[in-house]
Amino acid sequence: MAEGNAIRLWHTQNMKNFHLPLPDDTYEHLRAAAERSKVPATALAREAIDFWLRQQLRKARHDAIAAYAAEMAGTALDLDAGIEAAGIEHLMGRESK
Q: How many CB atoms lie within 10 A of CB 43?
A: 19
Q: What pLDDT sits at residue 95?
A: 59
Q: What is the pLDDT of residues 43-83, one digit of tens each?
A: 999 999 999 999 999 999 999 999 999 999 889 888 788 88
Name 9's Cβ contacts closer than 8 Å, sequence gap at least 6. Answer: 1, 43
Q: What pLDDT sits at residue 3?
A: 55
Q: What is the pLDDT of residues 12-34, one digit of tens each?
A: 678 888 899 999 999 999 999 99
**pTM for the complete prediction?**
0.64
Please state the separation of Cα 40 from the chain's center in Å: 21
CATH architecture classification, 3-96: Orthogonal Bundle (1.10)
Q: What pLDDT sits at residue 77?
A: 86
As a whole number of angstroms, the distance between CA 37 and CA 28 comes to 14
On the CB side of 64, CA atoms within 13 Å amount to 6
